[in-house]
């Protein structure tokens, strides 16, 4: 599976936008970009996913570079409840797809009041 | 909609003892996953079931870990005997289809935190 690179940690102020970067230079044509987050003492939860075009949902936006070698998760207005570990995961939906997710280290986001 | 249920929430045992974790996935979900998360690391897949068959157990330490999913619903993960390095959070997840699905979500439980002393 292709790998992703994320910063270990980031800080943000409450009510400001947050841009969480992810590099995936070896991404293949059948890899979707998924983001999950893990709040303290909880299991990971789905945030958003995309292939080529930018995506928006009620939780966040996903901006994907034109060459697909990087992407950015955007939280438009961070709240204290957004403090979590954010995982950027490439998911191959080709013939080898088993449905599993392979997690890296993720980015720990701190939100300051 | 009820989420993925796991029990117990916490477990403390001594090394060489045995322990079992239980998971009840979301109703109707065909695929069930067990992940191990060591402090400070991302979750690592131990085993994946599709209904009651094993899809992937390549990362499961089979000399001490075992898992089963009876009737394709609930699942138990057992460690016998436990080692100090097994201290971790054990997460269960489920998805509707799993293998062969295009892009579905995984839903995770809150996990069982195991401390081996």
> Could you give the C-alpha distances from B78 to A21, B32, B117, in angstroms and in order?
38, 15, 17
- The mean pLDDT of A28-56, rounded to a whole number, is 94
Block residue for tokens 């809150």: B110
Q: Do A43 and B56 touch (CB under 8 A)?
A: no
Give the residue from A3, A30, A37, A43 with the most B CB atoms within 10 Å of its CB, the best one to mutate: A43
pLDDT band for A91, please (50, 70, 90 cuts).
confident
Q: In this predicted model, what pLDDT tens digit does every residue of B51-103 receive, in sequence order?
A: 889 999 999 999 999 999 988 899 999 999 999 999 999 999 999 987 666 67
pLDDT, residue A92, reads 77
Q: Do A43 and B111 touch (CB under 8 A)?
A: yes
Rg (CA), chain A: 14
Q: Is residue A1 scored above 70 in pLDDT?
A: no
**Residue B94 in tokens:** 């489920």
- Chain A: closest CA distance from residue B44 (Å): 7
CA–CA separation, B5 and B108 (whole Å) = 9
Q: Which residue of A has its CA nearest to B5?
A: A43
pLDDT band for A99, please (50, 70, 90 cuts).
confident
Buried b (16+ CB within 10 A) or exposed e, B56-94: bbeebeeeebbbebeebeebebebeebeeebbbbbbbbb
pLDDT, residue B91, reads 98
């Amino acid at each position: 599976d292709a790998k992703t690179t994320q910063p270990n940690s980031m800080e943000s102020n409450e009510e400001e936008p947050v841009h969480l970067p992810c590099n995936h230079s070896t991404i293949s044509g059948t890899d979707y970009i998924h983001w999950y987050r893990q709040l303290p003492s909880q299991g990971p939860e789905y945030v958003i996913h995309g292939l080529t075009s930018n995506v928006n949902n009620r939780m966040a936006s996903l901006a994907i570079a034109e060459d697909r070698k990087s992407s950015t998760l955007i939280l438009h207005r961070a709240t204290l409840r957004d403090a979590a570990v954010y995982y950027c995961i490439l998911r191959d939906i080709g013939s080898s797809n088993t449905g599993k997710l392979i997690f890296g280290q993720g980015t720990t986001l701190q939100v300051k009041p | 909609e009820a989420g993925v249920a796991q029990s117990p929430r916490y477990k403390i045992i001594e090394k060489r003892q045995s322990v079992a974790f239980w998971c009840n996935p979301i109703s109707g979900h065909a695929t069930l996953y067990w992940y191990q998360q060591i402090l400070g690391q991302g979750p690592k897949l131990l085993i994946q079931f599709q209904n009651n068959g094993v899809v992937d157990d390549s990362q499961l330490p089979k000399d001490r870990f075992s898992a089963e999913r009876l009737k394709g619903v609930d699942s138990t993960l057992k460690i016998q005997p436990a080692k100090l390095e097994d201290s971790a959070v054990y997460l269960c997840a489920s998805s509707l289809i799993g293998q062969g699905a295009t892009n579905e979500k995984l839903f995770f439980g809150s996990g069982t935190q195991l401390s081996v002393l």
